[in-house]
Structure 1
Amino acid sequence: MGVQILHAVSDNSKIEITAKHVDATKNLVKARENVVVYYEDSVIKASSAYFDKSTKILVLDGQIEMLGYQGSKVHTNHLEIHTESKEVTFDELFLIGKNDVWIFSDDAHKEESNYTLGASLISSCDIVDPLWKMAFSDALYDSDTNYIKIYGAKVYLWDIPVFYTPYLAFSTDKERSSGLLFPAFGYSSNGGFLYEQPIFWAISPRMDIEFNPQIRTARSIGMYSTLRFVDSAYSSGKLRVGYFKDKTEYIEENSLPNGSHYGVEFNYESSKVFSHKLPTGFTDGLYINTTYLNDIDYLNLQQSHLKHFGLIPLQESRVNYFLYNNDYYAGFNSKYFIDTRKEDNSDTLQILPSIQLHKYLSHLLWDNLTYSADLRINNFDREKGTTMRQAELKVPVEFTTSFFDDFLNLSFGEELYYSKFFFGNGEYLYDDFEYYSNIHKVKLFTDLTKKYDGFTHVLQPALSYIRPGNEYKSPSLSALDVNQTALFTVGLPEEHYAFNLSQYFYDEMMNLKFFQRLTQTYNPDRSYEFADLSNEMQYNWNGWSLYNNVIYSHEYGKIRESASRITLNEQGSHFSLGHTYKQILPDVPTYITGNINANEVYFSFGYTLNEQMKLNGGVTYDVDDASSKQWRFGGSYHRDCWNATASVRQDIVPRPTGYTEDTTFYLQLNFIPFGAVGTE
């Protein structure tokens, strides 16, 4: 007997049953052997099936496989479909989603796209002996949105329980969705045990918020919140606010100036602001990176940081807008500084704002006569102390000619400079200061290129002569207050000669193999004519790189600064070993801050053992103190359904009262595609 087809129609659905044997009466349809049922958007295979026309119930038994229209697969041994109400009852449901996430449940019920599950297991690993799995008492799963709410969840790594939560909600898809993220656990020598529970709210496809409440047993509680948004195809931003309150005993034990730590951060970038309204050829952009905080612990207490720049504990904020075309550039820049070493920043000098107008290099009358112009208006402001507004103009003009068929080049230059200063926030004998000067420059240089067998050599020697011209000051510098002169520096350079030599070696594919840049200045009016000698060079061979940059003082016969490193960068591995040296010599003024001796060796590496395992680490060692300043060692292990990252590290943490050492153990487990559970 061949395959038989029967069409059965309920009030709401059409059912088509095919099987090797089909028996039908007025109210009952029975099918067996090679049964295939077409019901709505699903195809169901089973050993047997029957449909009761009076109750509108479809029952299937024996090795049932159900294929959904979105790629989901269901395996069960017994299935009942109430075609009137769309309710489905399963015995021992096995459900596989389109992202290879599977769920096994002893008891399941389905209505429309919603599953109600009893005691179940969920994982994305192999079905037989999964590396990780989650067991739960009951759950609600929406197959349309791929979103599941789980109650009484226990996460196992192999058969070892690693995490428990009474409630957990997440998407089984890789798309963003609201819910609780996996919490972070950890321990540090200063803060004690940590528990942080991230809460994620997907407001829209272009905006989301993450809340990060945290508890530190040795300190207290706090909260950080981060808003991320994309407001156009060319711009995006992040806004973070945070607050943490320390216990009284912790404040007293650590002599903290602040018991509360709070701040706000805003990062924003746009590559097109008014470009659609600008004249043809103009491009503009906006960059904002701002931080306001009451002390450095606002940053230290964060698990992950927004992108910043500047030195810690000196925090810098910037707002930059720029507009340019092929001939001109205009910029509006503001800088705001918070020195966390101070209890009061009212005397910290701010740049609010600085405006720059620049004319790119252009020809003047003849092709070999060029000029450029740069105009800046600066506003140095603060609550306490002298303030200053400055306007300065710099115009370099240069004439260049060549000899011996372009073998030798000679240039004559004149640099014109003008600046006007206005002082405020105090009573002064003179409220303004005017200065202008000119500098003469002569440069003899050449650019030689020769190709040899297997490589190309580029040689660029240059000899420059700089001679001071005239200058005008009104009033004299001696007539100004010391607080005024501390805000600016003017004056003509010394007469000097500068020799520069640059050379580059390229292989046949024009890959840079070696470069050297040598600079030496000669000052005829000084008691010791030769200034510092600077030499920088690097050699590249396959994945290896050897680099050295040294500054040598002829006057003191000592190395002032040196930086050396050897690095290896290959696919799957990297290695770096270096040495940094800095010696403060007597000619460096004592009032210049940030200048300290240094003699450090640093080492870092990363190595890929195989497709699953990677190792990394590093250490910074102070040669003079014979001590390790900072170290870390860790690794990661990756499989299709999970990965783990672990490390042990010691950090030097800057605080208002100085510096402390904080040793941290970090472990993060990522169960794909659900997120991470970690410790730090």
Structure 2
Amino acid sequence: MIKLIFKNHLIQIIIIFFSFFFISTTVFADTSFNTKTNQITWKISALKATHTQEKNLYIAEGDVIITGGKIKLKADYVEFNNSTKDTRASGNVVLISKNDTVSCDLITLNLETQTGTIHNGTIFIQKTNFYIKSNKINKTGKETYIADMASITSCNGENPDWKITGKDIKVTIEGYGFAKHATLWIKKIPSFYTPFLAFPVKTKIQSGFLSPRISNSDRKGLQYEQPLFLALSKKTNATIYIDYMKERGTKLGIEYNYLLGKGTNKSKGTIFYNFLNDSKIDDNTLNTSNYSFSTTPQRTNSERYWFIMKQNTKFADTWNSKIYLDIVSDADYLHEFQKDNIGFNNIKKHFKNNFGTSIDDYDDTIRTNKLNINKKGTNYSLNMGLNWYDNVIARRADTNDHTLQNLPTIKLNMPKQVIKNFRGNFGLYFDFSSEYKYFYRQDTTNSLTNGHRADIYPKIYLPLNFKNFLFEPSLGLRQTFWHGKEFNNSSSNKNEFHHREIYDFQAQISSKISKVFNTNNKFAEKIKHEIIPDIKYTYIPNVNQDDLPLFEFTDNNINKNSFNLLDSIDRINKNNLITWSLVNRFTRKNKKINHGKNKNYIYEEFAWIKISQSFDISKHRANIFEHFSDISLKSEFSPSKFISFNADVKWSPYNKDLVAHDTGITLKNNRNDSIQVTHRYQQNLSESFFTRLNANLTNNLSAFFLYDYDLFNDERIESATGFELEKSCWSLSMGFTEKPDDKSLTFLINFKGF
């Protein structure tokens, strides 16, 4: 059925009248009509249309548009057979289907089967900005094309920055393309040839080769890294890494990301694994000195690997679990492979971005492995876990391993909550913490032992408000139990229970003074200044603990989980301390949006300064001269998005000198150029200087410079420089890095959309 609609009613009547006497019908002016076939209704509009009843053929001219289903065809001239749905279009032809757009001079197409021939045409995939051009393209299906000769690029224009030409090209939208005798052209210069080429042609997440990374260094020689991404499903993907190193061999790696579960039961995880059969070892001879590190032991193994994974699981609204594993073959491995595609830096960044957590540093020879299950209730939290610290050096050397393990750790805590509210502006509060640990070492000594420890620590608070002051006294009682095979003090304590009871008392008084300044300028409409003074007194009695076990103790040179005994439950040191602090906060208020009378504001803290110091009453009574602690100053200052400053400084009131500081400043401008400078210092221990400069030289070209220097030992840690050229359809980056034991040059090019 064909329905004719005419804008000019007079012309409509005349033409209908004459149509009874002629075989064909000719229509002038703006015309549109519908024709229905099977499940699709085709609508045709044009400035002029002619219908031949004998052939059931429509001829449309001038701004012709045919639409049906997900297909839209535009042209200057169209012949449409309503019986066969064969269409011939010419003049500024544009065919838009589901995921691609075809523009050409001439097309013959069956609208039902979507098969035909495209003459002097271009297939454009908008989402990836991908072009396929040829003098003749055969459309063999809804999303399939074949061409004897064609060019491929993601660049706009007639003279693209890069293109790939080839023969016998076959393309499937949302699939892959294949070409024979493919040549890469940089402008008009042929630069690379391959007899066969496969490439992805997709708008969704797709499998395919990622950009290769090429570098050259003293330790590895020429290096070529090629990643292959595999889109396994909507919730899983993997990347295979092939890393060829001329001097070391080929390192293979895999990255696997997954999401599991539905509803409240969900899991998110990532697994990394890479392996290298290294052709170089460190046998402590001159010939292999280039493959060792001064800070690690001799490495004689050639089979090298790193396995690291993390998984977070949510069982229900309140139950969660976390698994983290980190196993490396030797202490040199993460020194060696820091900046590779599947190296330490990228993996650390991945865990930070996807899980919000970091990993052990590359030079840590004790790697953390843990399982944690936790439940968070309204007024409590329960944590259960296994912590295993893998001592890489002890494992590799097959020597005694005294590393302290926690198998398991169980913690039950209750945050501060009210017991009873009294009349007036005060009430009675309490909090509660407890833990159980089993301490295990593979190899023990008289001082490094295994055993159990349980600790219970309730605490009550009585906060009192007096006008602008808050006074809060608190009293805590800690009870600790130990049991183990042997303790370090004497053999008479073997297999015995031990216990300790100790209390602590705190009294804290604080206040808050604030004032709002009306500035009414570009920086702020108003500025709020807060001053928060605080004085805290802490008392813990002196209790003899010499006969108690000391599980959480390791020699400082054994492993990283050595720590200050002041932080250990095994030893609670006496304390008779007064600590004062003064905090200044500055917050600015600016108008964000103005909807008539309703005003929305943005509040931003742009400056924060805290200064504090402690006074030790016990040292003062014992006539110990240095009874005042170092003065600590911490500050953050960001008056605008172009400048930020932070400082952490400790100053000795006795030596009148800096004891330690960590200061840094970052400056930016409207072009997003930036310079970062950091200076770290610890008296008689270390001092270092770090700077990084990023400069956007043009809209497309940026450069960077990095310099890290050890002032204490007077040696360079690392220096690097490089640039990145970013174009609409490709990017190029190159960098040079120099360290005391290695130099490397890295090259990376990315053809976008390919």
TM-score, scaled to structure 1? 0.81
Partner SS for 1:122: strand
1:88 aligns with 2:116: yes
1:118 aligns with 2:155: no
Per-residue Cα deviation, 1:553-597 (whole angstroms, up to 9, x for no partner): 56777643221222336662443212111235xxxxxxxxxxxx2
Letter in 2 for 1:515: I
Per-residue Cα deviation, 1:471-519 (whole angstroms, up to 9, x for no partner): 5665688xx9999xx9986344234323221221324536242312212
Q: How far apart are 1:464 and its partner, in Å? A: 1.4
Per-residue Cα deviation, 1:430-485 (whole angstroms, up to 9, x for no partner): 134524132443425221313164542313231414241545665688xx9999xx
Q: How far apart are 1:46 and its partner, in Å? A: 5.5
Give runs of aligned pairs for residues 191-590 of structure 1, distance below 5 A. 191-232=220-261, 234-247=266-279, 253=288, 254=291, 256-270=299-313, 272-275=314-317, 283-296=318-331, 298-299=333-334, 300-301=336-337, 302-304=340-342, 305-306=346-347, 307=351, 308-314=358-364, 315-342=367-394, 343-344=396-397, 347=401, 348-364=403-419, 368-385=427-444, 386-400=448-462, 402=464, 405=467, 407=469, 409=471, 411-423=473-485, 430-432=494-496, 434-451=498-515, 453=517, 454-471=527-544, 490-509=570-589, 511-522=605-616, 523-524=619-620, 525=622, 527-538=624-635, 539-543=637-641, 544-553=643-652, 559-568=658-667, 572-584=672-684
Whether the 8 Å CA contact 2:433–2:458 is kept in 1: the answer is: no
1:649 aligns with 2:737: yes
Taking every aligned residue pair, what percent have the same amino acid on both sides? 16
Per-residue Cα deviation, 1:648-673 (whole angstroms, up to 9, x for no partner): 3235xxxxxxxx63333333333333
Q: How far apart are 1:159 and its partner, in Å? A: 3.7
CA distance in 2, matches of 1:434, 1:465: 26
Identify the structure with bigger relative contact order (alpha carbons < 8 Å, sequence gap 6+). 1
The 1:235–1:424 alpha-carbon spacing in structure 2 relative to 1, beyond 3 Å, is: farther
Partner SS for 2:753: coil
Whether the 8 Å CA contact 1:46–1:63 is kept in 2: the answer is: yes
Whether the 8 Å CA contact 1:122–1:133 is kept in 2: the answer is: yes
Partner SS for 2:615: strand
- Equivalent position of 1:98 in the other structure: 126
Letter in 1 for 2:252: M
Per-residue Cα deviation, 1:605-627 (whole angstroms, up to 9, x for no partner): 33445654444332111223443
CA distance in 2, matches of 1:190, 1:133: 35
Whether the 8 Å CA contact 1:551–1:562 is kept in 2: the answer is: yes
Partner SS for 2:741: strand
Whether the 8 Å CA contact 2:487–2:549 is kept in 1: the answer is: no
CA distance in 2, matches of 1:603, 1:353: 43
- Equivalent position of 1:673 in the other structure: 753
- Equivalent position of 2:690 in the other structure: 602
Letter in 1 for 2:738: Q
CA distance in 2, matches of 1:164, 1:520: 72
Whether the 8 Å CA contact 1:274–1:284 is kept in 2: the answer is: yes
Whether the 8 Å CA contact 2:214–2:748 is kept in 1: the answer is: no
Partner SS for 1:129: coil
Q: How far apart are 1:207 and its partner, in Å? A: 1.0
Letter in 2 for 1:451: K
In terms of mean alpha carbon deviation, does 624-633 or 112-121 score higher? 624-633
- Equivalent position of 1:63 in the other structure: 91
The 1:170–1:519 alpha-carbon spacing in structure 2 relative to 1, beyond 3 Å, is: farther
CA distance in 2, matches of 1:197, 1:373: 54
Letter in 2 for 1:459: I
Letter in 1 for 2:207: S
Q: How far apart are 1:226 and its partner, in Å? A: 1.5
CA distance in 2, matches of 1:138, 1:605: 49
CA distance in 2, matches of 1:618, 1:419: 52
CA distance in 2, matches of 1:22, 1:557: 100
The 1:35–1:559 alpha-carbon spacing in structure 2 relative to 1, beyond 3 Å, is: closer
Whether the 8 Å CA contact 2:652–2:659 is kept in 1: the answer is: yes
CA distance in 1, matches of 2:682, 2:388: 29
Whether the 8 Å CA contact 1:574–1:606 is kept in 2: the answer is: yes
Q: How far apart are 1:401 and its partner, in Å? A: 5.4
Whether the 8 Å CA contact 1:220–1:247 is kept in 2: the answer is: yes
Q: How far apart are 1:105 and its partner, in Å? A: 1.5
The 1:212–1:562 alpha-carbon spacing in structure 2 relative to 1, beyond 3 Å, is: same
Q: How far apart are 1:274 and its partner, in Å? A: 3.0
CA distance in 2, matches of 1:6, 1:457: 73
- Equivalent position of 1:654 in the other structure: none
The 1:83–1:471 alpha-carbon spacing in structure 2 relative to 1, beyond 3 Å, is: closer
Partner SS for 2:232: strand
CA distance in 2, matches of 1:481, 1:508: 49
The 1:601–1:9 alpha-carbon spacing in structure 2 relative to 1, beyond 3 Å, is: closer
Q: How far apart are 1:176 and its partner, in Å? A: 1.4
Per-residue Cα deviation, 1:314-360 (whole angstroms, up to 9, x for no partner): 23233322211231111123333234444247613322321111122
Partner SS for 2:541: strand
CA RMSD of aligned residues (A): 4.2
CA distance in 1, matches of 2:37, 2:530: 86
TM-score, scaled to structure 2? 0.74
The 1:183–1:138 alpha-carbon spacing in structure 2 relative to 1, beyond 3 Å, is: farther
CA distance in 2, matches of 1:36, 1:444: 83
- Matched residue count: 640
Residue segments in structure 1 that go unaligned for 5+ positions in a row: 276-282, 585-596, 652-659, 675-680
